[in-house]
Structure 1
Amino acid sequence: MINKDYILRLAEQIGYELSIVLRLRKRNLHEDELLAIDNLLLKYTGMTSRFINSLSDETLLQSLSPLGKLNVESSLWIASLLKEEGEAYSALNNSRESYYRYTKSLFILLEILHQEHVAFDSDLYEDAANLIAKLADYELPAHLEQKLFRYYEQKGMYAQAENILFDYLEHHPAPGMIEAGRAFYGRLQEKSSTDLELGNFSQEEIHEGIEQLKAFEV
């Protein structure tokens, strides 16, 4: 689990650097804002925005995981700065570019939350919720839906996890996700009724979900 004090110190540093970006945004100097973000990315990650955004999400994740261990500091800088880059493109009415920044930012942030077992009271969960809200009206890439499925279960939001599961299977009936669904319901069967209720779920819905899942196994 990431040390909470470490996250707070890093968040303060990121917030300080972003204050310059936000001042440019308030003055509608969005091109200058994008340049400032690019400079910060290069300073703190050694990578430019153009390079980062040229990589697939999975390739970017691999580059941030030397020897299989996620570089949390670089990952947080990238997630934070890509989100702000998305805001700049949104202000420029370039929804295509903002969409790609938001999805890549969310992908990295969800991976941090999963790999590092971040405490649920961390502001990082609020950051993830804000990005999810920004993308609510868009179709998400399949690999990001997989991350969201895992995220919602991790948060104890079982109904939302199930919605993601079946939405994914409607469009991508892949054996791997079917197996993930079976494992999901298996874990839920071990939960108490109270835990299920907190996740807006029930034993009856588990059985219904298992039966619904069988339709995709044919």
Structure 2
Amino acid sequence: MINKDYILRLAEQIGYELSILIGLRKRNRFQDELIAIDNLLLKYTGLTSRFINSLADELLLQSLSPLGKLNVDSALWIASMLKEEGAAYEGLANSNESYYRYTKSLYLLLELLFQEHVGSDSPLYNEAEELIHKLADYALPAHIQQKLFRYYEQRGMYAQAENFLFDLLEQHPSPETLQAGQEFYQRLQKKSTTDLQLGDFSHEEVQEGLDQLQRFR
């Protein structure tokens, strides 16, 4: 688990740089902001925006995970800068580039939250929820939906996790997703009634979910 104080210090450092970027955006200096973001990425991660955005999400994650361990500093800097880059492109009325940055930022942030077992009171969850809200009206690719399915289970929001599970099964059916669904309900079977109720779920719905999985076989 990431040390809470460490995250707060890193978030404070990133927040200082973001305040300058947001100032540029508020003055409609979007191109200047994009140049500043690129400079910050190079300074703190050694990577340019162009290179980061040229990589598929999975390849970017691999490049940030030497020996299989995610580089938290670089991942958080990149996720934060991509989110701000998305906001800049939104200001330029370029929804395609904005969407691309937001999804890439969300992908990295969800992976960081999962791998590092971040505490439930971390401000990183607010960042993730803000990105989820920004993308609410868009169709998300399967690999992002998979991360969201896992994210909502991790947060104990079982009803929302189930929604993403069945969206995946309807839109991107695969034996792997079916197996993930089976294991999801098996984990929920072991939860107490109170735990399930807190996640807007019940043991009856667990059984109903298992029954529904059968039609995808």
TM-score (norm 2): 0.99
2:34 corresponds to: 34
1:86 corresponds to: 86
Q: How far off its partner does 1:22 sit?
A: 1.2
Q: In the aligned structure 1, how far is the partner of 2:166 from the partner of 2:103?
A: 20
Q: In the aligned structure 1, how far is the partner of 2:17 from the partner of 2:53?
A: 21
Quick check: 1:76 aligned with 2:76? yes
Q: What are the equivalent positions in structure 2 for 1:137-152 lying under 5 Å apart?
A: 137-152=137-152
SS at match of 2:216: coil
Q: In the aligned structure 2, how far is the partner of 1:148 from the partner of 1:154?
A: 10
Quick check: 1:167 aligned with 2:167? yes
Q: What one-letter code is carried by the residue in structure 2 that aligns with 1:164?
A: F
Q: What are the equivalent positions in structure 2 for 1:92-103 lying under 5 Å apart?
A: 92-103=92-103
SS at match of 2:149: helix
SS at match of 1:215: helix
1:115 corresponds to: 115
Q: How far off its partner does 1:149 sit?
A: 0.4
Query: What stretches of structure 1 of length at least 5 have no aligned partner?
Result: none
Residues 73-101 of structure 1 show CA distances to partners (whole Å, capped at 9, x for unaligned) of 00000000000000000011101000000
Q: What one-letter code is carried by the residue in structure 1 that aligns with 2:211?
A: E
Q: In the aligned structure 2, how far is the partner of 1:198 from the partner of 1:108?
A: 27
1:49 corresponds to: 49
1:200 corresponds to: 200
Q: What one-letter code is carried by the residue in structure 1 that aligns with 2:146?
A: Q
Q: How far off its partner does 1:103 sit?
A: 0.3
Q: In the aligned structure 1, how far is the partner of 2:162 from the partner of 2:18?
A: 36
Q: What one-letter code is carried by the residue in structure 2 that aligns with 1:174?
A: S
Q: In the aligned structure 2, how far is the partner of 1:24 from the partner of 1:130?
A: 21
Give structure 1 regions of 4+ aligned residues with deviation exceeding 2 angstroms: none
Residues 109-148 of structure 1 show CA distances to partners (whole Å, capped at 9, x for unaligned) of 0000000000000000010000000000000010010000
Q: In the aligned structure 1, how far is the partner of 2:208 from the partner of 2:38?
A: 49
Q: In the aligned structure 2, how far is the partner of 1:210 from the partner of 1:19?
A: 48
Q: How far off its partner does 1:55 sit?
A: 0.1
Q: What one-letter code is carried by the residue in structure 2 that aligns with 1:121?
A: D
Q: What one-letter code is carried by the residue in structure 2 that aligns with 1:128?
A: A
Query: What stretches of structure 2 of length at least 5 have no aligned partner?
Result: none
Q: In the aligned structure 1, how far is the partner of 2:207 from the partner of 2:214?
A: 11
Q: In the aligned structure 1, how far is the partner of 2:71 from the partner of 2:192?
A: 36
Q: In the aligned structure 2, how far is the partner of 1:203 from the partner of 1:130?
A: 31
Q: What one-letter code is carried by the residue in structure 2 that aligns with 1:146?
A: Q
Q: How far off its partner does 1:23 sit?
A: 1.3
Q: How far off its partner does 1:196 sit?
A: 0.3
Q: In the aligned structure 2, how far is the partner of 1:90 from the partner of 1:195?
A: 40
SS at match of 1:137: coil
Q: What one-letter code is carried by the residue in structure 1 that aligns with 2:181?
A: G
What is the number of equivalent residue pairs in this alignment?
217
Q: In the aligned structure 2, how far is the partner of 1:160 from the partner of 1:27?
A: 38
Q: In the aligned structure 2, how far is the partner of 1:162 from the partner of 1:106?
A: 19
SS at match of 1:173: coil
